[in-house]
């Protein structure tokens, strides 16, 4: 503080002391004067505001091996083609989710086996279906197969994911335009999907057959386990608009009714189940073109470990976009 400023302040204070209380200026003389800091007094730094918490709606990074599928309403099923268990065509609402771009590979699955979390695949189905040496199916980039529904769930949980639901799978394959196949309505050819053969191919071998959101092999290569139990009446139940099948007891009652009324073909080419089975989607390397339709529903007991059955994983996407069928 300069000497002149200190002198002026001292004069003002003395003036206040000499004047009667009723005659003192209110601003300078009626308030106590705080001591002035000296150059040696410490100066407190300004308070730093707490760092802002990340917004709960901020977009989350999408893992490289996954692609996003928007939420919204879309049509599931078919009314004029396909099997009876694909009817009726109806609107379903789904939330946004992430889905693996390709089927899980042999190499990726065996990292889980080596970690003593997943069990090895079964080769029994390869010989039983006369596909020759199982080792030709086991190159690193071919899809894992010969795994059960529980094997698939175990792997997905190990990588912090889950199996997709049946309606999520169909959403990823059909988008908003009710296409017959992931790539559109063009009939399947060998450059669009792996089918009509005796061996799987490395995942992503037919990029022209990509689905509406960039996923590969949604048609052909291997059938894909999804989370849901197979319910022949899934599309007729009150919960159909949110894609939830009936309970296992309801499913068993439905299957008994179908048998008693002689509706053997209702559940497609597979016999009417006698237990609660699980859904597989997408067709496989040994199937014809009909099996590749994106609304086609196949079912097997969850314990089956078939050479033509694999899977891919999903994950919730709470910050994903929404788009609906117009």
Read off the pLDDT of residues 55-114 as tens digits, 9 standing for 90 and up. Answer: 555 677 899 999 999 999 999 999 998 899 999 999 999 999 999 999 999 999 999 999
Read off the pLDDT of residues 220-273 as tens digits, 9 standing for 90 and up. Answer: 999 999 999 999 999 999 999 999 999 999 999 999 999 999 998 898 888 999
SS3 at position 285:
coil
- 60: in domain: no
What's the chain's average pLDDT?
A: 87
C-alpha dihedral (302, 304, 309, 314), degrees to nearest 10: 20
- 321: in domain: no
Alpha-carbon distance 272 to 29, whole Å?
Answer: 99
Q: Provide the residue count of the chain.
A: 326
Alpha-carbon distance 151 to 112, whole Å?
Answer: 10
- Whole-prediction pTM: 0.82
Q: Are 317 and 97 in contact (CB under 8 A)?
A: yes
Q: Are 190 and 129 in contact (CB under 8 A)?
A: no
- Averaged over 166-193, what is the pLDDT? 97
Q: What is the CATH number of the domain that holds 73?
A: 3.90.1580.10
- 34: in domain: no
Domains: count for the chain? 1
pLDDT at 41: 43
Q: How confident is the model at residue 38 (pLDDT cuts 50, 70, 90)?
A: very low
Q: How confident is the model at residue 51 (pLDDT cuts 50, 70, 90)?
A: very low
- Provide the edge-to-edge strand list for the sheet that holds 309-310: 298-300, 278-281, 223-229, 309-310
- 248: in domain: yes
Alpha-carbon distance 196 to 294, whole Å?
Answer: 17
- 187: in domain: yes
The residue ranking higher by pLDDT, 40 or 324, is 324
- 139: in domain: yes
SS3 at position 265:
helix
- 229: in domain: yes
Residue 114: its H or E element: helix 106-114
Helices (H), 122-278: 124-128, 149-158, 166-174, 248-260
Which bin fits 208, alpha (ψ -120 to 50), beta or left (φ > 0)?
A: alpha
Q: According to the per-residue pLDDT averaged within each range, which of 21-25, 79-83, 137-141 is highest?
A: 137-141
Domain hosting residue 214, numbered range:
66-313
Q: Are 171 and 69 in contact (CB under 8 A)?
A: yes
Read off the pLDDT of residues 99-121 as tens digits, 9 standing for 90 and up. Answer: 999 999 999 999 999 999 999 99
- 283: in domain: yes
pLDDT at 27: 36
pLDDT at 55: 54
């Amino acid at each position: 503080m300069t000497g002149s400023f200190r002198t002026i302040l001292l004069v003002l204070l003395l003036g206040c002391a000499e004047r009667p209380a009723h005659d003192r200026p209110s601003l300078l003389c009626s308030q106590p004067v705080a001591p002035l800091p000296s150059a040696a007094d410490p100066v407190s730094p300004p308070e730093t505001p707490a760092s802002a918490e990340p917004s709960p709606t901020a977009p989350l990074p999408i893992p490289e091996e996954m692609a996003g599928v928007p939420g919204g309403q879309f049509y599931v099923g078919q009314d004029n083609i396909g099997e009876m268990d694909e009817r009726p065509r109806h609107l379903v609402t789904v939330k946004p989710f992430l889905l693996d771009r390709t089927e899980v590979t042999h190499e990726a699955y065996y990292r889980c086996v080596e970690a003593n979390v997943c069990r090895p695949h079964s080769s029994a189905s390869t010989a039983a279906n006369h596909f020759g040496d199982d080792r030709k199916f086991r190159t690193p980039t071919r899809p894992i197969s010969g795994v059960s529904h529980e094997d698939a769930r175990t792997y997905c949980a190990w990588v912090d994911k889950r199996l997709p639901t049946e309606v999520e799978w169909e959403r990823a394959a059909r988008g908003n335009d009710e296409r017959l196949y992931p790539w559109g309505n063009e009939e399947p050819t060998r450059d669009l999907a792996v089918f009509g053969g005796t061996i799987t191919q490395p995942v992503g071998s037919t990029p022209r057959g990509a689905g509406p959101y960039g996923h590969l092999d949604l048609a052909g290569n291997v059938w894909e386990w999804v989370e849901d139990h197979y319910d022949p009446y899934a599309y007729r139940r009150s919960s159909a608009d949110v894609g939830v099948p009936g309970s296992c007891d309801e499913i068993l009652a439905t299957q008994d009714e179908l048998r008693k009324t002689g509706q053997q073909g209702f559940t497609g080419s597979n016999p009417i189940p006698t237990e609660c089975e699980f859904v597989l989607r997408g067709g496989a390397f040994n199937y014809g073109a009909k099996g590749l339709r994106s609304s086609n529903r196949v079912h097997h007991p969850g314990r089956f470990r078939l050479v033509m059955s694999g899977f891919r994983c999903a994950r919730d996407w709470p910050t994903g976009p929404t788009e609906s069928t117009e």
